[in-house]
Structure 1
Amino acid sequence: MAHWPFNSMKSAFQQLNNTNGELHAGTCRKDYQLAMVVTSLLNQEQWNGRRAVGSKEEGSLLVFGRLEEHFQKLLSLEKHLNQCADSQKIGDWKSAPRECDAAIAGGADFSPQLISCRAEALLKLHQIEDADSCLSSIPKFEHYSPSCSTKFFGVIVEAYVLYVRAQVEMALEVAVAEKAGLIDYNNVEVAKLLNNVKLVARVRARGNELFSSGRFSKACLACGEGLKYDTSNSVLYCNRAVCWSKLGLWEKSVEDCNNALKIQPNYTKALLRRAVSNGKLGRWAEVVKDYEVLRKELPGYIKVVESLSQAQVALSKSWEEETYSVKFGGEVEEVSGVDQFKAAISSLGVSVVHFKVASNYQCEQVSPIMDKLCVQYQSIKFFKVDVEENPTVAKAESIKSVPTFKIYKNGDKI
């Protein structure tokens, strides 16, 4: 058995450990992980102490012999991973499953991306049911670990897994519709369904190709063509929303996201896209609302938490700017909705809120006085809330009659 000098072996293992984190973090079995942990704990002083004599030296050689064995297995695993990537890149779908199987057998048996790669290859070989069965073996997690934010075949791991799953599901839809057509080939409705499913699948694939090549306008048209055959396809609406956003048409993007969410209310991709598009339009209250929903739906997604925080800051800032502008105009700013109300009273300084009803005579008499105060005391923020239009705000603030005035400082009631 060849033995490597400690420094070079430790360096090799540390380098492999870093590489492993990029390629398949969290996917190897315990023995490989243990080998890397043991190596990281060894240091030059420990090695010098173990080099003494007799049984201590034999014990050290035994440890390094085992580590060397694990190291060779990890090198073999890395080789299969690289060959798997090469096969996927050139479209060698016959070799890809073989390399995936070898990598999985070599220790990457909990790797969602490798299992998905195998499923994609099987799908390309028209083995649809095998591809679906393959995907069903992916371990179920509430959310992916931070290591899955790295890229695999140029795509973020979780996105790649979903990308393959979407392809398999489309193929299954076509296969199921074809089976129905074979069973009842004279049924007009079944024939129509089969035709529509095939057309939509073809359009989605075409739209994805156009989008990938940067032809966003044509991708929009492709999605629109598919929606003619399937008006309740939330995926097509969401895909077109992404295309609109790439073209800078934020209003159209929001509209298609709304359509997708009417069909599928908890569609996270549509919620994310709508939040981004509304952000571009400066509708920060809507952005905050969507990100709050997404934070519950995707508890482990750091990007959502960060985006929510940024949107809340932007919302507060926009309210301060609007309030400042309103003061010089001599009018009290009207607040609608719980989110806007919270943002208004949370701004720095003192805020005075006039709770009113438009049809109330006393409220109408008070409003001009509030406008004058707004101009006279520009260091104070003045707001008005119609309790009939905003019953949730009225209930939260315990408004029993109008007109009612409440004063807040930095978000706290005085």
Structure 2
Amino acid sequence: MSKVSSIVNSIKMSAVSSISIEASQKNWKDTISMAGGEPQFSPPAAVNDAFKEIVAKGFNKYSPFPGYTSLLEKIRAKLSDFNNIQVDLEQIYTVPGGSSALFTALMALIDRGDEVLIQDPCWEHYSEIINLLGGIPKKVKMVKDSNGHLRIDKNILEQSITSKTTVLLLNTPLNPTGSVLSIEEINEVVEVVEENDIHLIVDEEYEGFVFNPFQHISPASIYPKAITLYSFSKTFALTGLRIGYIVAPKDVISAVRKVSLYSFMYASSPSQYVAEAVLSEHHIDFAKKACDEMYNKSRFLSNSLQSIPGVVCEEAEAGLYVNPNFIKFGKTGNEMSRVLFEKYHLLSVPGEVAGANGANSIRLYVGLEQEILEEAVNRIESATKKFTFD
């Protein structure tokens, strides 16, 4: 009898993919999709010209394994200017998007049965990628400080480490809540990983969307041994191009090269050419403008939801999502997400899939047109009027 891999068979579909597939089968005409994180703004103007030039300039051919040197040089300059990270070209490796960066970096570092520490809450894909690689995901619960900042507690982190722990995987800004690692947190994390001789991987997918007065700090600017994962998808609205990169010490990059050789081979040449064009323009100015737009939408949505009686919705420090909480109605995130889906055709992500810290909340994408955001608020308010709250 034929069968599929038992490991693959144990992997769950993500909440975003499941609800998107279900919605597509409904053929509703009034669906509001706030489950995914697809930027709606246009990419940098340089992208259009780059697409026209790809074939003429030979970028439909095989790429060098790490990526084209000209792109690596642009990435190195970006890392220096924006992230305060100084590296050699040999420490940069291009990959087909942020998810590929995660998969490749983890495959290069963990063996079957190794523990990987991840934040609670975090992107639900982390656990399943680790499971797929034969590792063991282990949640480290974050706590709120006196200012309401969701942070990593050093004592909890230290108590989570065992002899099987190999990697600490962090995300800043954090999906789903938008929490940003502070310099104090980073210094404490560095102390812990150094004392316990474990790898530190940092996913900085949302680096371009940090709101004042908060500041994005790349841990690798303080701790050069950190392995950092980047993508062009969110900041530059290039989700479909599938292009990202890994920045790491040379020995880790050597392992990454082996993984790439027998998996994706190399990042797409056309995508690399477009990425280089983006970094050749005023990319930091573009990112700031995009961030300002997301800030305004995020604040509108969180303030509007907070004004609904019984709904709690804190302002995000960064990112593309807000996370209204419905605990006063006695509703779990799963229940609220289901009600909004079935009765109001609004797609959201239950907070529980991100971990215990996501209980009773849902994740909503903020980057939609203003009138759509207003309609979403109206539908959520209509739903809550059917409930009572304490």
Q: Which of the five TM-score ranges fits, normalised by the shorter chain?
A: under 0.3
Q: Relative contact order: is structure 1 or structure 2 higher (C-alpha 8 Å, sep ≥ 6)? A: 2
More strand by share: 2
